[in-house]
């Protein structure tokens, strides 16, 4: 009788062992899928296409990131348009709205685009601005706006004299090699000045004069 009982145990041990092995394999497979303790399931990230241009705009810098090459732009009285360059580091592909306000309330405006860290304002028509006044170039970037620079259209002088020798004496060394047109301008309102203009009509140098050379 005892021998028959032992035989029953041996005959049942095979199926039980197979069940235990199957359960163990399922448990190990579940651990491998779920990861270790404290690890979350990784979510799919954004798709990145190799070679695609990437632009990162510094939202914190705001309008302060847009800087013109000079805080003052002064042109001759007959100049109708001029291009003003500036830097826009950290604002690649961003856009800047701008306008020029004059004392009469009129204005003209445009939009600049930041490309390779640079932008350009095409100011026109400048002949519509009142001469001798400081007109502000106002920029707007997002919700922030403020003055970027000032633009001045010189008034027509009452007398103009061309004295070539003054260019060598009064003009800085950096400008002597440039093709600047220099002349003495005499006006009762603004006085007597030696003024040099660049090829685009912008004032590149100015010096106040006095004495006989300023006589009309």
Task: Supply the pLDDT for residue 18.
Answer: 54
Counting beta carbons within 10 angstroms of the beta carbon of residue 210, is it exposed (0 to 12), middle (13 to 18) or buried (19 or more)? exposed
Task: Supply the pLDDT for residue 9.
Answer: 44
In a domain? residue 125: yes
**Bond before 125 cis per omega within 30 degrees:** yes
Other residues' Cβ atoms within 10 Å of the Cβ of residue 214: 18
Helices first, then strands: H and E counts in the chain: 3, 12
Task: Specify whether 91 is located in the same domain as 112.
Answer: yes
In a domain? residue 192: yes
| Residue 22: DSSP 8-state | H
* CATH code assigned at 78: 2.60.40.2550
In a domain? residue 93: yes
Express each pLDDT in 121-142 by its tens digit. 999 999 989 999 999 999 999 8
Count of domains for the chain: 2
Q: Which domain holds residue 204?
A: 159-214
In a domain? residue 3: no
Task: Specify whether 79 is located in the same domain as 145.
Answer: yes
Express each pLDDT in 35-46 by its tens digit. 544 444 444 444
Examine the pLDDT at 2 and tell me if it is beyond 50: no
């Amino acid at each position: 009788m005892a021998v028959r009982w032992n035989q029953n145990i041996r005959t049942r041990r095979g199926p039980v062992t197979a069940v235990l092995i199957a359960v163990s394999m399922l448990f190990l497979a579940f651990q491998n899928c779920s990861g270790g303790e404290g690890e979350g399931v990784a979510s799919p990230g954004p798709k990145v296409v190799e070679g695609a241009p990437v632009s990162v705009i510094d939202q914190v810098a705001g309008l302060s990131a847009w800087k013109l090459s000079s805080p003052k732009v002064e042109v001759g009285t007959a100049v109708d348009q001029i291009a003003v360059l500036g830097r826009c580091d950290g604002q690649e592909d961003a856009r800047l709205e701008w306008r020029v306000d004059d004392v009469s309330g009129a204005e003209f405006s445009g939009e600049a685009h930041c490309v390779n860290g640079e932008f350009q304002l095409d100011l026109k028509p400048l002949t519509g601005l009142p001469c001798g006044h400081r007109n502000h170039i106002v920029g707007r970037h997002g919700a922030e706006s403020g003055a970027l620079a000032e633009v001045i259209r010189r008034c027509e002088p009452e007398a103009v004299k061309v004295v070539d020798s003054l260019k060598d004496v009064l003009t800085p060394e950096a400008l002597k090699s440039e093709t600047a047109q220099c002349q003495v301008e005499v006006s009762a309102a603004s006085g007597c000045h030696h003024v040099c203009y660049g090829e685009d009509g912008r004032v590149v140098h100015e010096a106040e004069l006095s004495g006989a050379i300023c006589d009309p």
